[in-house]
Amino acid sequence: MIDYSKFKKSLKNLVLQHENYQGAKYRDNLSDLDKEGIGESCIQRFEVCYDCLWKVLKRYLIEGLGIPEVPNSPKPIFKLANENKLLMSSIENWLSYADMRVDTSHDYDQIKADNCLTQISDFIADAIDIFQTMSGEQWE
């Protein structure tokens, strides 16, 4: 049986922090440094959620679909998931999320951070779709 609890928790945490990030620009009591910190936390929660997602997706491909040879890196896993009709959005979106994950963890600059923060809403929607597909649960 596949345990989705870490992925689910990381996705919930990302959703909450992303909502906090979106509302932070309207909160006059926050300094620019505070707002930047909330954005950085949102990016870090994206990274954690992304890592949980691709690892549980790998287990789903092996245990849920019975695919014996599954690679051990995100992009090939997303391509395999796409071939097996698990992704609701385009494979290009998922490959973009993979690039975004690498960009934010290895070369942190404001342009890459802003790009990530712009795409997190789409990632959340796609992550919820794949959670529901794999787990059979409705998102709360």
The CATH code of the domain that includes 58 is: 1.20.120.330
80 belongs to a structural domain: yes
60 belongs to a structural domain: yes
140 belongs to a structural domain: no
36 belongs to a structural domain: yes
**Tally of structural domains, the chain:** 1
119 belongs to a structural domain: yes
Taking only the tens place, the pLDDT of each residue in 1-58 is 899 999 999 999 999 999 999 999 899 999 999 999 999 999 999 999 999 999 999 9
- Domain around 15: 5-135
Q: What is the pTM of this model?
A: 0.94
Taking only the tens place, the pLDDT of each residue in 54-111 is 999 999 999 999 999 999 999 999 999 999 999 999 999 999 999 999 888 776 678 8
| Rounded CA Rg of the chain | 16
Name the DSSP class of 108.
Answer: -
Outline where DSSP puts E strands in the chain. none
Torsion of CA 117, 82, 89, 64, to 10 degrees: -90
